[in-house]
Amino acid sequence: MPARLKFCDSSDSYEDSKYVLFGVPFDSTVSFRPGAKLAPNEVRKASYNMESYSIRKGVNLRNSGIFDMGDIEESHRPEEMLEEVYSVTDKIVSDRKFPIMIGGEHSITVGSLRRIRSKVVFIDAHSDYRDSYMGERFSHACVARRVSEIVGKENVVSLGIRSVSTEELEAGPQTFFTSYEVNSNPERMKSFLKEFCNSKVYLSIDFDGFDPAYAPGVGTPEPFGLNPTILFDVLDAIGDNLVGLDVNEITPLFDNGNTSMLAARIIQEVVSHQETTKK
């Protein structure tokens, strides 16, 4: 039997690792294009295209201590999936390691924030602030609302928003920067983030926040998005307060390979960032 596919540069032992990666093959509340549950393994495969060295940070990822736990068991019930995400995140965080979760659709984030309860920076095209969607409160269209209920809406900011319903606007969504604002005046976003990120911050990246030119393989693509280099501004602002990462909403069924590649590289750059800030 072939060995299980692992993210590149994964170390052999959980005990010796600092960064613990796991996949959540869940896309049961998806509203448009399916396939996000296939993303964890595609991101793992894509990671083998990358060098182990981050020239940006001067970090050799081979020595960083990444451990790939594999995927949580597939479930079609959001509440069941969230409990599983919670318990895996609980183990990783309790062991003082850094969790990296590969979705799956965006609803997975609620599970990790139930444990981590920090400030949250979302990159997303959608405000995800519906109270429920198609009868489901744990839909991927409600994730910012559920997370705001856990950590307080003053502790949530979304970057890259360009798709919002009047219902969401009337509910008074969390602080957000539209993609138009970010693209035309990045300095305003950067100075906001520098103040916002003054305590522990979790980063949740819905890949539809990026422009479809960079990330075509997503569940609900939206034109006029962000350039992925926004990530570096976000990491600079967060500094040594980053406590967890998830990447979500990637669907290999609609990808040309570039979206999974971007996800793999983002994971590597986040680890490299942590390696140069966290002591």
- Name the residues that contact Mn ion, by CB under 5 A: 124-126, 206, 208
How far, in Å, are 63, 204, 272 from residue 194 at the CA level?
A: 30, 17, 20
Task: CB nearer to Mn ion: give 208 or 269.
Answer: 208
Supply the minimum distance, in Å, between the C-beta of residue 178 and Mn ion.
13
Supply the minimum distance, in Å, between the C-beta of residue 209 and Mn ion.
7
Question: Which of helix, strand or coil describes residue 145?
Answer: helix
Distance CA 130, CA 140 (A): 10
Supply the minimum distance, in Å, between the C-beta of residue 176 and Mn ion.
12
DSSP secondary structure letter of residue 5: P
Supply the minimum distance, in Å, between the C-beta of residue 108 and Mn ion.
13
Supply the minimum distance, in Å, between the C-beta of residue 220 and Mn ion.
6
Looking at beta carbons, which residue is closest to Mn ion?
Answer: 126
Task: CB nearer to Mn ion: give 32 or 48.
Answer: 32
What the block records as the tokens of 274 is 């942590």
Task: CB nearer to Mn ion: give 40 or 219.
Answer: 219
Distance CA 53, CA 50 (A): 8
Distance of CA 121 to the CA centre of its chain: 9
Element spanning 205, H or E? strand 201-206
**Rounded to 5°, angle at Cα 142 from 27 and 227:** 75
Q: Which of 65, 94, 116 is nearest to 245 (CA)?
A: 116
Task: CB nearer to Mn ion: give 126 or 265.
Answer: 126
**Rounded to 5°, angle at Cα 259 from 119 and 209:** 40
Supply the minimum distance, in Å, between the C-beta of residue 206 and Mn ion.
4
Supply the minimum distance, in Å, between the C-beta of residue 129 and Mn ion.
11
Distance CA 182, CA 78 (A): 32
Task: CB nearer to Mn ion: give 37 or 126.
Answer: 126
What the block records as the tokens of 151 is 């950590």
Supply the minimum distance, in Å, between the C-beta of residue 239 and Mn ion.
26
Task: CB nearer to Mn ion: give 68 or 208.
Answer: 208
Q: Which of 175, 143, 148 is nearest to 161 (CA)?
A: 175
Under 8 Å between Cβ of 43 and 230: no
Task: CB nearer to Mn ion: give 68 or 206.
Answer: 206
Task: CB nearer to Mn ion: give 43 or 88.
Answer: 43
How far, in Å, are 3, 33, 45, 242 from residue 255 at the CA level?
A: 25, 11, 14, 29
